[in-house]
Structure 1
Amino acid sequence: MKLFKFLGCIYFFVASACVGQQKQDKIDGISFVASRDAINQLHVAPVVNINANYAAIMPFGFIRELEHPEIIFNTERQWFGETRKGAKQYVEELRKGNIKIMVKPQIWVSRGEFTGFIKMNSEDNWKALEDSYSKFILEYASLSQEINAEIFCIGTELENFIASRPQFWETLIIEVKKVYKGKLTYAANWNEYTKTPFWEQLDYIGIDAYFPVSELKTPTIEDCKAGWESHKSEIKTYSKTFNKPILFTEFGYRSVDFSGKAPWRSDREMGDVNMEAQLNTTQALFEMFWHEDWFAGGFIWKWFHDHERVGGKDNSQFTPQNKPVEAIVKTYYSK
């Protein structure tokens, strides 16, 4: 009888540990926007309140134009949260709320040009860009090791750069691994990930998941789920091909009419507020992916530090803050 009780206790503890591990393994993340200011626990509390367990911290480098090879980063002219010092301070505060970290350095091109179009016009400029980008990424790989970040993202939506200089990226990943010992990913745009050549060297297949799912003004949840079917099938196949989990390095929808038609659009031309469209597109994504064992989770785009002053009923942008969709995020992040 004692032996059975002993074995029963072992089974209980092992089963409990497995359940706890499964919950920890799902990444319920927010993309934490860099600001002018340092943050404190008042800014972290809303992140904890929606049951997030991860935050993407996004220091920035700047390029003057698409054909310019110099990346300017970690300077006093940048906002605090965009620098190494600021990123570290954000992480230290978020850690107090038991939030895990993905460091995701990003590039901003003047006038908001799409980073996927970055392409040099000479071999000298390509080499200059490679040198500049290496310094940028290794700076934040070093920070990621220093703060023990759980994940480091080596780039975001750089399709032309990768297609034109694949050997550079192979070498860069080797150099990053000398500096940083945690998990690695890359944030490929939704229509780029199948062309990204180095997934075997990384731990997650990262996708900025702005897939078109419906052309309706106010799609229902079922409309959006139907629109996901072909995309999901391809994503699942890709995961199995490389035996790597899928991570949505960004996901989310604007609170506007036609929010599922071209979810990547951030321009001001789309201004008609539609909370139901944002609610339905977001819930459909959760219903399609969050239960899948090959799906690691994701980071909703985007979350601002000063929660009480952002989002709300008149806001047409991506943030879920102070909108009906925030409750959906909180519910799924609690499961």
Structure 2
Amino acid sequence: MRSRLPLLAIFPVTVLSLVLGAPFVLGNHPVRWEAGSALPKVVIGGSETSATPSGKKSESSPSDSPSSSSSPSSSTNALQVAKPWKKGMPQWGVQLYWEEETKKRSDTFIENQARKHAKYLIGLGANSVSLSFPYFIGGRTSDELSAGPKTPSPERLEQVLKVFKDAGFRTTLRPILDEGNLKQNNGWRGNIEPASRSAWFASYTKLLKPYLKAAEATKTNTFVIGTELNSLEGDPGWDTLVASAEKTFPGEVSYDANWDNYVTGRIDMPVNHLGVDAYFPVKVPDTAPVSDLVEGWNTWLDKKATGPLPNILVSETGIGAMKGAYHAPGDFYARRALNPKVQANWYKAVCEVVQDRKMQGIYWWSLWFDDDPNTKPDDKVASRLDFAGRPLSEKAIKSCFTSDYAGPGTDTAS
């Protein structure tokens, strides 16, 4: 059975400097088990049968799960988003993470999995999906980036993207630097220091080209050119890389910043859209009302800018369904006692913040591609971040995704 312990850090919250310092050391992204505006040239300144790989059991979803009572029939014609995304509407989505299995799955399996996830997401009321996949580096100072055995091929990604596109979803393709080779020195993708940055960017450009072509072939809406690469933000190498990407891919080229740099740093990237991977710690008890969580999020966001944030997308967020998670939502190592209400209330709060501040939407972390979202998680082995099969969390997501929020009306690309 595959281990799914995400490579993320425990974020202390007692002292602000420690809260902000931890991500620079260990990061906050679960890849293996894991102001206010972003205009062209973004400069944000100042102010987851028998047990499945994730440990889920082959049980029916709860009666109030969106995958059972509210999703459409399994016929191809019924696989359609109720209200397809259009420019200006909120992006209500999920990060679907895909690692190829050691024993490569058949194309038929891949097709069926994509349809299974599409059906589940339609039941949640989602209109968007971001397909995340890993690429690899030799070490913290390496100049070479590569696809690995766990990296899906561009052709396989096209197959999955097409299923979602045909179903009416807004689609994003999102390569993420895997941290497996960084563990020995407690590294994370945000503090890599290539010996030669020019060689690193040349290698990255070569790596991305076939994936950009796959995105173009499937009319994918967005290609995320980089995710949580704090140490490389602002490097002149991005100008050439993005210009090259735009020659191949006519859609939206974006960058997803880590939350720490977003609130304290200057995100200087030559892209036409900015997302934030948001794991803001809020020091409140598990019994705290949703309003306290909302206040906590707003306190963090206000460090950047007060008021509406119509050009900002919550490109990734989540939290464990366990006690104490509010203090460190980016702590993906912990496996404390279950508390599903903690997760559900967090989802409610984030949704409220996104709507109140007129943000572009939310992508929840995450669904694992080889998992069956229609099963209950086996909590002895499953990630605490799993929300599929947790009725309270599914209800909160669906309530958010089917709300009356019309969106910021200022999306920069279709």
Q: Partner residue of 1:330? A: 398
Please give the alpha-carbon distance, in whole angstroms, between the structure 2 residues aligned to 1:21 and 1:55: 11
1:84 is aligned to 154
Structure 2 counterpart of 1:276? 341
- Report the 3-state secondary structure (helix = DSSP H, G, I; strand = E; otherwise coil) of the residue aligned with 1:308: coil
1:50 deviates by 0.4
Indicate whether 1:62 and 2:129 are aligned. Answer: no
* Aligned with 2:360 (options 263, 282, 296): 296
For 2:144 and 2:284, the matched residues in 1 are separated by: 39
The Cα of 1:32 is off from its aligned counterpart by 0.7
The answer as to 2:390 corresponding to 1:318 is no
Q: Secondary structure of the equivalent of 2:233?
A: helix
TM-score by length of structure 1 reads 0.81
Q: Using the alignment, how far apart are the partners of 2:398 and 2:123 within structure 1?
A: 8
Give the alignment of 1:238-277 within 5 angstroms: 245-267=311-333, 269-277=334-342
Shift of 1:223: 2.0
- 1:128–1:203 CA distance, 2 compared to 1 (3 A): closer
- The whole-number CA distance in structure 1 between the counterparts of 2:375 and 2:139 is 32
SS at match of 1:25: coil
Are the equivalent residues in 1 in contact too, given 2:95–2:366 (CA < 8 A)?
yes
The separation in 1 between residues aligned to 2:357 and 2:383, in whole angstroms, is: 30
- Out of 215, 231, 237, the position equivalent to 1:144 is 215
- 2:253 pairs with 1:184: yes
Q: CA deviation at 1:170?
A: 2.1
For 1:53-95, what per-residue CA distance to the aligned partner results, in whole angstroms no more than 9, with x for missing partners? Answer: 111011321113212222121x5x225xx33122111111222
**Structure 2 CA distance for partners of 1:272 and 1:236, relative to 1, 3 Å:** same
Task: Deviation per CA, 1:284-328: give whole Å up to 9, x if none.
Answer: 1111112433x1112110013421346366645222111111111
1:109 is the counterpart of 2:179: yes
User: Unaligned regions of 5+ residues in structure 1, if any?
Assistant: 1-18
- What are structure 2's unaligned runs of at least 5 residues? 1-82, 404-414
Contact 2:254 / 2:272 at 8 angstroms: preserved in 1? yes
**Distance in 2 separating the partners of 1:304 and 1:328:** 20
1:227–1:237 Cα change, 3 Å: closer
Does the CA-based 8 Å contact 1:105-1:154 persist in structure 2? yes
Q: Which deviates more from structure 2 when the two are superposed, residues 135-144 or residues 166-175? A: 135-144
* RMSD after superposition: 2.6
In 1, are the aligned partners of 2:375 and 2:388 still within 8 Å (CA)? no
- Deviation by residue 1:218-276 (Cα, 9 ceiling, x = unmatched): 43312211212222324545976xxx610111011111222221211211x33322111
Residue number among 297, 304, 308 corresponding to 2:374 in the alignment: 308
Distance 2:311 2:233 in 1: 21
Q: How many residues are paired up?
A: 302
**Which structure shows the higher helix fraction?**
1
Equivalent-residue separation in structure 2 for 1:110 and 1:277 (angstroms): 30
Distance 1:195 1:91 in 2: 34
Q: Equivalent residue for 1:53?
A: 127
> Where do residues 110-125 of structure 1 align in structure 2 (5 Å cutoff)?
110=180, 113-120=187-194, 122=195, 125=196
Structure 2 vs 1, CA of residues 238 and 134 (structure 1 numbering), >3 Å: closer, same or farther? farther
Deviations 1:168-218 (A, max 9, x none): 11222222222211112111000112534435x433221001111234244
Does the CA-based 8 Å contact 1:304-1:310 persist in structure 2? no
Alpha-carbon distance between aligned partners in 2 of 1:238 and 1:87, rounded to the nearest angstrom: 38
Between stretches 220-229 and 312-321, larger displacement belongs to 312-321
Written as runs of structure 1 = structure 2, the 5 A alignment for 1:150-169 is 150-162=221-233, 166-169=235-238
Confirm or deny that 1:97 pairs with 2:164.
no
On the 8 A contact 1:33/1:58 being kept in 2, the answer is: yes
Letter in 2 for 1:58: S
Q: 1:100 to 1:174 in 2, by over 3 A?
A: same
Answer 1 or 2: higher relative contact order, Cα 8 Å, separation at least 6. 2
1:285 aligns with 2:350: yes
TM-score by length of structure 2 reads: 0.67
8 Å CA contact retained: 2:158, 2:217: no
- Runs of 4+ with >4 A deviation: 19-24, 235-240, 312-316
Cα pair 2:279 2:317 within 8 Å, conserved: yes
Counterpart CA distance in 1 for 2:87 and 2:305 is 21
> Which secondary structure state, in structure 1, belongs to the residue aligned with residue 332 of structure 2?
coil
Alpha-carbon distance in 2 for matches of 1:24, 1:49: 22
Structure 2 residue identity aligned to 1:39: E
1:229 equivalent in alignment to 2:298: yes
Q: Percent identity?
A: 21
For 1:236 and 1:297, the matched residues in 2 are separated by 17
C-alpha distance in 2, partners of 1:21/1:56?
A: 13
1:256–1:270 contact (8 Å) kept in structure 2: yes
